Structure 1
Amino acid sequence: MQYEDRVDALVAPKGALEMLSQDEISRMSEDSGSLHELFRRCALAIMNCGSDTDDAEAVMKEFNDFEINIIQQERGVKLELKNAPGSAFVDGKMISSVREMLFSVLRDIIFTYHEYNLARNLENASSDKITNVVFELLRNANVFRRIQSPDMVVCWGGHSIARHEYDYTKRVGHELGLRELNICTGCGPGAMKGPMKGAAIAHSKQRIRNGVYLGLTEPGIIAAESPNPIVNQLVIMPDIEKRLEAFVRTGHGIVVFPGGAGTAEEILYILGILLHPKNADVPFPLVFTGPKESANYFEQIHAFIGDVLGAAAQNKYRIIIDDEVEVARAMKQGLEEVRHYRKAHHDAFYYNWKLHIPEEFQHPFEPTHENMLSLSLNFNQETHLLAADLRRAFSSIVAGNVKAQGVAYIKEHGPFHIHGDKQILEKLDALLQAFVAQQRMKLPGSEYIPCYKVITN
């Protein structure tokens, strides 16, 4: 990966932070140390969209001379860029989508930090408190202005998928778009890009000019999964747990495509929530789907869920193989049920307040050897709690696979050790080995070195 073109530029806001007070600009311009470095890394990821690598450190090394500074002016704020990737510009002018997302990064990393004081201690915050913080962050990004009815379909799946799987995600997105549904994804490549691309074409056919392609990410993963250019609304949540909550609070239904450890984490997250007794009557359409070549993948996922979480968990979703029309119809019907439920319970269309999310799914989990040892991977607990700890295990694997901090931790301390009930671990190990064999842990062509060891003895 070599980039010969580097660009120096002074960029004005577009899409976010176009009107700020002098006091707000002053606070943003203060040197925040590690916060500025986080802003720099995320900004570089935005301008490096389209890269074919998920190695965040390789990108940072390639652009180690990249600089970005906030320039305070009487009429507002601008960004000064030095040695920026030339791919973000056309004839010396920054691409509009890149410019919009760049200022979304400024808003979510710097502005939101100061305005909402995210440095405050949320470690012991209540579930309601965390839910309100997620709401505030999404409201600040103007997400709710575009949600007028239950029409937001969240699409999950891997950033490293085969071409036939990617093409299928586009076909599903196209059918969803023809039914005037909007798309929310993790905003990266692969299964996060395909549905948006398909929906964008369908929206054009339906003469929909205000289609929503919402991307939700978080700082630890954005460099490895740079936002795709179809995203027209980007929000960077503070951590993976708030990102996951943002998905299920703003989304009205979820379609899951093939993926790896990250997709398994997402599946366990939503199943754990839906299995909680307080959510027994809350409608939330959930569909697993892929082309016929991926049928075996979902058989493995379905079997793992049945063996570990039971039939009750399997009843929370449908598996539809190689039928994009049926996926869209099932989702459309499910969203009608969501509409009726929200109206009957006087719940907002734009934010799923009624859904109960236990604190076990909300507090950030730091992937360390000590914390991995504390996971309770056994059957002697409520099913939704087992799902929560399984989610944390997969989250740690994702961190060790692609997140810069997690990769550095593994290099220094060695792979994570996963302990627990032998029956659970055997099923988990088999699933992870299948992911490795199918090249679902890293981009195709790169050698995968496991960041974990499943201890079954």
Structure 2
Amino acid sequence: MQEQTINALVSPEGSLEILSNHEVNRLKDRSEGGLYRLFRQCALAVLNTGVETDDCKALMESHADFDVRLVPQPRGLKLELVNAPAHAFVDGEMLRAIREHLFSVLRDIIYSYSIPQTVAGFRRDNPEDLTNLVFHILRNAGVLEAGRQPDMVVCWGGHSISQNEYQYSKEVGHQLGLRALSIITGCGPGAMKGPMKGATIGHAKQRVRNGRYIGITEPGIIGAEAPNPIVNELVIMPDIEKRLEAFIRCGHGVIVFPGGVGTAEEILYLLGILLHPDNSDLPFPVVFTGERENAEYFEMIDKFIRNALGDAAANKYEIIIDDPARVAQTMKAGMHEVETFRRAMQDAYYFNWMLKIDPIFQMPFEPNHDNMRALELHRDQPVHLIAANLRKAFSGIVAGNVKENGIRQVQEKGPFEISGDPTLIKPLEAMLEQFVTQNRMKLPGSSAYRPSYRIVS
């Protein structure tokens, strides 16, 4: 049955409503260097909030007649939507959360483009400039609040999880909310939505009126993981590397729920940074958690980490099984440690400036066949660089699974090829096979998973 669509003129909600002529022209520019295609893709993803799909390419193709246009007004601007998904509206009015997200997309795309163009001497290969770009995007979005005590818990986990796993993530969020802790996730469904939904109930019980549900995403992934409507602060970072840096710069601790290759990528990014010698004394609580049935899953993750990165990496996290209250208590205690440390070091609560991030974690990795084949997956390098290169391997698989450009490359040229030291590659292959078996690569009910990768010797 043909999906219903609607035409609408939408006023700003909570974000950008004034643009320069130059910015308007960039957003209208449909050439390769323009911003129109990027804005249209992100806007369409936001309008599909609640739709269960994780195929960005299929989403774009199924709404080929969708268009978004800027309509200048005497007191700002409006967006004209043509053939927009009808489920984004109630009685002809766009849902307020979706309207907020739509203008957050507009705000961040314009700002991410403007900073490198307007800041004198900005270099995309300079680590300090890249961290400042992350900072400025977050500040412009209103995410950074001076004077607020550490309370931001980053929750990572899969979009394709079972109902029981979702309920468990929701209960953990509830326990966090009861302790007045706020949530940052990748903003999508599954283990990204569950903690937020649980926290809203915990905050309501404790009469927490300033609870925060921050969603951080990027253009390549937003079509596969549309923002869930609980997100009350949405941020679109330019790419996955800046998205990951934003998580750990403004978060004060991390909880990891069961997931697939995207979750593995996040774990390796985090551990690779925490293993850097300059970060050895920084308190940063990390908990892996799931229900009782997930014990074997985390044994597998733990075994993979110990093999690839050593026991020192495993010392950076705690595994807590089937105990949401203990997870929240651990995070609350960790917040106190973070607060004490940053006060002593005179570092900001709202942005972790002291965290050392090696440039290899900051430089954008383009998943294509040549780059995937050239990954340095061997042991003759510092352990944090092993983590960085393994992270890139998982990032490429994510792209091949759900990102429009990655899906297209795999369809045209076949799976990405991954090779390296057998002591790293064999465990990697075994873990990927388990992700497939456990349906963690695609949403349940979607077409059978066809691997976007091939392990070669």
TM range (shorter): over 0.9
Deviations along 1:93-131, one digit per CA (max 9) or x if unpaired, are: 111000000000111123442355399997752211111
Q: How many residues align?
A: 454
Structure-to-structure mapping, 1:154-233, within 5 angstroms = 154-233=154-233
Structure 2 stretches lacking a partner, 5+ long: none
Between the aligned partners of 1:410 and 1:213, the Cα distance in structure 2 is 35
Residue equivalent to 1:6: 5
1:17 aligns with 2:16: yes
Deviations along 1:170-218, one digit per CA (max 9) or x if unpaired, are: 0000000000000000000000000000001111111112210000000
Residue equivalent to 1:66: 66
CA 1:306–1:111 in 2, change beyond 3 Å: closer, same or farther? closer
**Offset at residue 47 of structure 1 (A):** 0.7
131-140 or 254-263, larger mean C-alpha shift = 131-140
Q: Which amino acid aligns with 2:154?
A: V
**Offset at residue 376 of structure 1 (A):** 1.2
Residue equivalent to 2:456: 455
1:430 aligns with 2:430: yes
Paired residue secondary structure (2:45): helix
Paired residue secondary structure (2:155): strand
Q: TM-score, normalised by structure 1?
A: 0.96
**Offset at residue 78 of structure 1 (A):** 0.7
Alignment check: 8 A CA contact 1:288 1:317 kept: yes
**Offset at residue 21 of structure 1 (A):** 6.1
Paired residue secondary structure (1:216): strand
**Offset at residue 55 of structure 1 (A):** 1.6
Alignment check: 8 A CA contact 1:22 1:74 kept: no
Between the aligned partners of 2:423 and 2:19, the Cα distance in structure 1 is 59
Alignment check: 8 A CA contact 1:14 1:99 kept: yes
Alignment check: 8 A CA contact 1:70 1:79 kept: yes
Residue equivalent to 2:29: 31
Alignment check: 8 A CA contact 1:28 1:111 kept: no
Alignment check: 8 A CA contact 2:115 2:133 kept: no
Deviations along 1:321-350, one digit per CA (max 9) or x if unpaired, are: 000000000010011100001000000000
Between the aligned partners of 1:363 and 1:29, the Cα distance in structure 2 is 26
Residue equivalent to 1:419: 419
**Offset at residue 145 of structure 1 (A):** 2.9
Paired residue secondary structure (1:327): helix
Between the aligned partners of 1:350 and 1:337, the Cα distance in structure 2 is 15
Runs of 4+ that moved beyond 4 A = 21-30, 118-124
CA 1:313–1:111 in 2, change beyond 3 Å: closer, same or farther? closer
Q: Which amino acid aligns with 1:16?
A: S
Paired residue secondary structure (1:145): coil
Q: Which amino acid aligns with 1:451?
A: S
Alignment check: 8 A CA contact 2:111 2:137 kept: no
Q: Which amino acid aligns with 1:14?
A: E
Residue equivalent to 1:98: 98
**Offset at residue 28 of structure 1 (A):** 5.7
Q: Which amino acid aligns with 2:163?
A: R
Between the aligned partners of 1:242 and 1:118, the Cα distance in structure 2 is 19
Q: TM-score, normalised by structure 2?
A: 0.96
Structure-to-structure mapping, 1:358-373, within 5 angstroms = 358-373=358-373
Taking only the aligned residue pairs, the percentage that are identical comes to 58
Residue equivalent to 2:47: 47
Between the aligned partners of 1:181 and 1:138, the Cα distance in structure 2 is 19
Between the aligned partners of 2:426 and 2:365, the Cα distance in structure 1 is 24
Between the aligned partners of 1:300 and 1:393, the Cα distance in structure 2 is 18
CA 1:302–1:357 in 2, change beyond 3 Å: closer, same or farther? same
Deviations along 1:55-104, one digit per CA (max 9) or x if unpaired, are: 22222222111110011122001101111111111100111000000000
**Offset at residue 445 of structure 1 (A):** 2.7
**Offset at residue 33 of structure 1 (A):** 3.1
Q: Which amino acid aligns with 2:72?
A: Q
CA 1:21–1:452 in 2, change beyond 3 Å: closer, same or farther? closer
**Offset at residue 32 of structure 1 (A):** 5.3
Alignment check: 8 A CA contact 2:27 2:39 kept: no
Between the aligned partners of 1:146 and 1:50, the Cα distance in structure 2 is 33
Alignment check: 8 A CA contact 2:124 2:130 kept: no
**Offset at residue 438 of structure 1 (A):** 0.4
Paired residue secondary structure (1:117): helix
Between the aligned partners of 1:228 and 1:379, the Cα distance in structure 2 is 40
Structure-to-structure mapping, 1:2-401, within 5 angstroms = 2-18=1-17, 20=18, 26=24, 30-31=28-29, 33-34=31-32, 35-117=35-117, 125-145=125-145, 148-401=148-401
Alignment check: 8 A CA contact 2:161 2:190 kept: yes
Query: What's the RMSD between the two structures over aligned residues?
Result: 1.8
Between the aligned partners of 2:115 and 2:383, the Cα distance in structure 1 is 38
